[in-house]
Chains A and B, each alone.
Chain A
Amino acid sequence: MSEIELDFFELVKRVDTDKMGDFISYDREKCNGCGLCSFVCSFNLWAVKQGKAKLAVRYQELCVECAACWEVCEPGAIDFSYPAGGTGVVIEYG
């Protein structure tokens, strides 16, 4: 058992989450349901149901902007841009 409490949600800072815009797009047709997006996501924002991935509706509030879901998506169903300039994750101790 770990004596170090890790609340990953609390450990990420963000600004202006309402102004981030849609920076992940998903093409259901191309998805092959492999589930790698769900595997690599730090905050479980992807779930695979009935052979297709599904992105959490309010993903902006949890995404750490790592783009791993885009990188692992073999069929190219996931596209990732960045949130609007000056919004989203703020890293203080990078």
Chain B
Amino acid sequence: MEKWDVVVVGGGPGGSYAAKTAAEAGLKTVFFERGRKSGEKNSSGCGLGQRWWRDFPELMSELQELPSVRKIEMVVINLIDEHDRLRYRCGTTGSDLCANRWPHGMDGISIYRRDLDPFLAGKAVAAGAELRTSTLISDVLMEGGKVTGVKTEKGEPIGAEVVIAADGAMSTMARKAGMRNRWGGGCTLVPQLDFGCNEQKMDDIIGNAEWCWFGPLYGTYQVNFRDGFHIGAGQWLRDDWDEKPLDMMKKVVSIPGFQAMCRAIEAKPREYQAHLLPWLKKPPKTYMAGMMLAGDAAGFPCPLEAEGIWHAVVSGREAANTAAWAISRGDTSEKALAEYERRWRASNLGKEHEFGEEFVNLWNSSIFDPKLMARQIQLLLEFSMLHPFSIVFDWGDAHMDCFNQHLEHLMDLAPEFGEFGKTYIAPLGRGIWPKNVKRILATVKPRVPGLRRLSDENFFKVVARLSKGLAPFLDPAAKQDAPLPREAYGAGGR
């Protein structure tokens, strides 16, 4: 039987980066891809943000030269009302802070997987890992509860000191090894429709931006590439939807504003894809004796926006580093590989998952709840009426009257959304850094009669006594530039 130090299952970004890292650590490494080449079986939104330049600087200058790349400098949000009219278009874009956070001066790129995945696989091969394509791994080899290798679809056994399973949302490896079965809730289905476009017109009309479309019954991302884009409409696989996933996509395509855009950039449907995407409050156990899970297989996609490629690559790197560490100690038991979980939790990936429960609850109960969604869009449109530009251009009445009428209307809606805010928005308050809470309070102090002469320090002491909710933020022992731990916040009485 063949014997390797590390067998990686999956030649997507997580698998390839794991293989690259393992090979660079001097481990005899093989990785398997079921497609004829990496990327051939993968679909995703695939926008790479600033954190890529922070975490993988060695890749970026080459990566951003690949053919399908479009620079991304903002996200355009299109809000559609119940009559299919485009009513509000706004953008999330960079402040000085964003532009200067990392020295590359770029916000991000979109790239097709047919460029990204083979590029990363190539890096692994260059580092000395062996890539076997068109090979489906269909089972694990186990001895006494420990994973000792894998089996190809043809029944060929392949031994390994450590297996890294980066085999996607359905993870045959995790299932065959008995780590889990279906996700059983918390998994989404993402149908995706790709369009080919006129590149010059995309440059002129779309620009360096991702787009999104939100309407009463759909939320859709539009990822823009050099000469094409795709839309994707993630949907939780649960039974309170009355629209089939594909119908939601058809609905977006039928929006007049969307069709106008398609006309303008000469967009023609080019490909349809669908994939599962875990969107979890917290990843389940990610290791067992002899095996670690990386990327989607581990349930790592971001609990806020479900981007999973950076998460796959970071977890692949951590898994391979853990494998190198464990193999060098001659111990790949479950206890030893628990080190993997410690490492990814301590990484930027772990930080992102610290608010998993709050983020997922927020989405689950807002735009991913078909009943609430229509109302949420109404509320967002109403909020947008208080935007300075909206007030300037509301010519229904005298400007100050317009402002007051909208304010009044918003307050009419407030009770309906108050409970929502209390249940789903307020828990996110835990994430505000204590030093920022103090800065806000310090600006309030001069307006509080009787307390305005206190030193900041004494003022905070009084506030902490008066407010159980604020006390944990004002505890002198609290770390100043990190979210409060869940326990500390709970102890604050919320």
Which residues of A are in contact with B by a Cβ distance under 8 Å? 1-6, 8, 11-13, 15, 36, 39-40, 42, 64-68, 70-73, 76, 80-86, 89-94
Contacts and interface: CB of A to CB of B under 8 A. Distances in A.
Nearest to A90: B40
Interface of B: 34-36, 39-44, 46, 112-114, 133-136, 138, 153, 169-170, 172, 181-183, 187, 189, 191-194, 196, 225, 228, 230, 237, 239, 244-246, 250, 253-254, 259, 262, 269-276
Contacts of A8: 246, 272
Contacts of B245: 40, 42, 68
Contact of B239 (A36, A82, A90, A93): A36
B253 A93 contact: no
A7 to B, nearest CB: 8
25 contacts: A1-B254, A2-B253, A2-B259, A4-B253, A4-B262, A5-B269, A8-B246, A40-B244, A42-B245, A66-B189, A66-B275, A71-B187, A71-B276, A73-B182, A81-B136, A81-B138, A81-B172, A85-B134, A85-B135, A86-B34, A89-B41, A90-B35, A91-B113, A93-B230, A94-B44
B259 A11 contact: no
A80 B176 CA distance: 12
Nearest to A72: B237
A64 B237 contact: no
A68 B187 CA distance: 9
A91 B35 CA distance: 10
A68 B244 CA distance: 12
A68 B43 contact: no
B246 A94 contact: no
B35 A68 contact: no
Given A2-B254, A42-B191, A90-B35, A70 B170 contact: yes
B276 A84 contact: no
B199 to A, nearest CB: 14
B273 A91 contact: yes
Contacts of A71: 170, 182-183, 187, 189, 237, 276
A91 B134 contact: no
Given A65-B41, A67-B169, A85-B153, A93 B112 contact: yes
Contacts of B239: 36
Contacts of B39: 91, 94
Contacts of B269: 4-6, 11
A88 to B, nearest CB: 8
A3 B271 CA distance: 17
A6 B170 CA distance: 28
Contacts of A3: 259
B43 A91 contact: yes
A13 B182 CA distance: 27
